[in-house]
Structure 1
């Protein structure tokens, strides 16, 4: 089974090749999958895609003409796939729904703690021999109200960690999680959450309903000095609105592991280039903004699980077995 792995990085090659799957012939393709790069998929039996690969109607139609009928996503999110078109065209589409929720949850806490205690600034000061504490004042997490929007596996893992700090936890999710309730968290309407929380962390999938969930109106409802963290999908936050609230001082801290227009930036080394994204560059000018390059998932444990599940999904699709919950789209006959 020849599998074209798009957006392939050295770590993808390492972990996929470590999987015991002799029936899979991995072909690693560094470029992102798009309408322009489709010819690189010629001769493949399946495609393995990542978060910024484009799988719209046009791309899927061309893949079908090549005889490629399975898309294996090596990620949990699938907002980059036109699932309705995939269903109509007869594709099967799989993903990795639960690789390591603790990986993203722990990165969420890393952003919170770094922003709060200004560890990134302290690190640079010490390297320059500056041991002054001026400007490094933080606050105790203990006793603060933390709002978790989305309490699936990652949101629940974040609640478990946050509860250890002695925080009051408010949650919002259309499907409340009994495990989260047992931790003492309280489910409230989203408007109540954003108006009461000192720290707000997003853990939702990107859907038409959640796109720009954090917009100007919701930002205006937040407490002055609020900390906003996003480790889910960039487009859940209206970036232009966030910039305005950073400018007027309403947002006290912003931590992002994802960015609305990250497709041309993240996962690439652009250190010798002039970044053309003016919105991203504007974000970088604020001293209370911390951005990481979509690395929340990036732990050895998570990568091992992602590689194994991706291989399992590919082999299952080859055998016509679509019973696993990791299959998003299955052929109509299955």
Structure 2
């Protein structure tokens, strides 16, 4: 079966070649993103595989005109696709799963860097300031870490945290028996009030939009650290900046941020940054910002390519498709 694959990165190439042979599928690779104009390249393919490119109603119309019935995004998140309009057109959408170790390990990295004030340490060392002023950290065994969202990634974060001897609180609508062996489930209000570190692992849904906003930020300890490797829209960025500038929050470590589309994964060196909030966050000494790279490991990229191909194949054959959203 032919599948048109958009935004083919160099790092994906060996996996695209490997899995096209393994599953005996024909891949039509397009280097550029899916757009209203490039949708024509998918003619003859019932399914397309994309990355984080925004898929608007106009793009969906263009895909519909050339006979595409299924969109697989090589990501866990799918908020970049107009799902409602896709359903209206009869176009189905699926995401992928990949190794939870990638984001879980990165989350632990950010927690450790934030609690040990690594940004300040590195910035001081860069200008040969080797004093201890302003770089004293905290030890995880003395802290309570709150994990919001106990899906595959949240559960993996919790198992990693057990090795550090910290107290672990968890919050999710669906409680996991596996998690209960290591963490105590509490409501979000309790978790925010009692945690020294709060890490977010929720999907971007309308219900979760700005779940960490002015009200919930006010419940957190004044020296608490907020970690977000989930989705940027979970946090009200303006409210976060306000509490950070007022000294009412200890710090933040953010791999994702609102309105990151069009910025992340591009070389914007020596160009004005078209995101005022991101520029402010980068300037704060107690905020770590990384460009949505928590997922980016060799295993995760392999999984994303393989599972996107498998998802398209399952849809085409009418088999059970664990990745299909609509």
Could you say which TM-score interval applies, normalised by the shorter chain? over 0.9
Structure 2 residue 138 is the aligned partner of structure 1 residue 139: yes
Partner residue, 2:84: 84
Partner residue, 2:269: 271
Aligned with 1:170: secondary structure?
A: strand
Partner residue, 1:118: 117
Measure how far apart 1:59 and its partner are: 2.4
| Distance in 2, Cα, partners of 1:147 & 1:232 | 14
Aligned with 1:290: secondary structure?
A: strand
Partner residue, 2:288: 290
| Distance in 2, Cα, partners of 1:264 & 1:80 | 12
| Distance in 1, Cα, partners of 2:41 & 2:275 | 28
| Distance in 2, Cα, partners of 1:316 & 1:6 | 19
Measure how far apart 1:204 and its partner are: 0.3
Aligned runs of 1:185-196 on 2, under 5 Å?
A: 185-196=183-194
Match of 1:302 among 300, 303, 309: 300
Aligned with 1:4: secondary structure?
A: strand
Match of 1:212 among 210, 215, 226: 210
| Distance in 1, Cα, partners of 2:109 & 2:16 | 27
Partner residue, 1:48: 49
Partner residue, 1:10: 10
Measure how far apart 1:308 and its partner are: 1.3
Structure 1 residues 276 and 57, CA gap change in structure 2 (3 angstroms): closer
Aligned with 2:252: secondary structure?
A: strand
User: 8 Å contact 1:194–1:200 — kept in the other structure?
Assistant: yes
Measure how far apart 1:254 and its partner are: 0.6
Aligned length: 324
User: 8 Å contact 1:60–1:86 — kept in the other structure?
Assistant: yes
Partner residue, 1:227: 225
| Distance in 2, Cα, partners of 1:251 & 1:158 | 23
User: 8 Å contact 1:143–1:167 — kept in the other structure?
Assistant: yes
Q: Which moved more, 1:194-203 or 1:36-45?
A: 36-45
Q: TM-score, normalised by structure 2?
A: 0.93
Measure how far apart 1:124 and its partner are: 4.6
Aligned with 2:250: secondary structure?
A: strand
| Distance in 1, Cα, partners of 2:61 & 2:77 | 21
Structure 1 residues 129 and 279, CA gap change in structure 2 (3 angstroms): closer
Q: TM-score, normalised by structure 1?
A: 0.90
Aligned with 2:206: secondary structure?
A: coil
> Please, what is the CA RMSD of the aligned residues?
1.9
Measure how far apart 1:315 and its partner are: 2.1
| Distance in 2, Cα, partners of 1:161 & 1:319 | 39
Q: Return 5+ residue gaps in structure 1 as ranges.
A: 330-334
Partner residue, 1:326: 323
Measure how far apart 1:36 and its partner are: 6.2
| Distance in 1, Cα, partners of 2:133 & 2:18 | 48
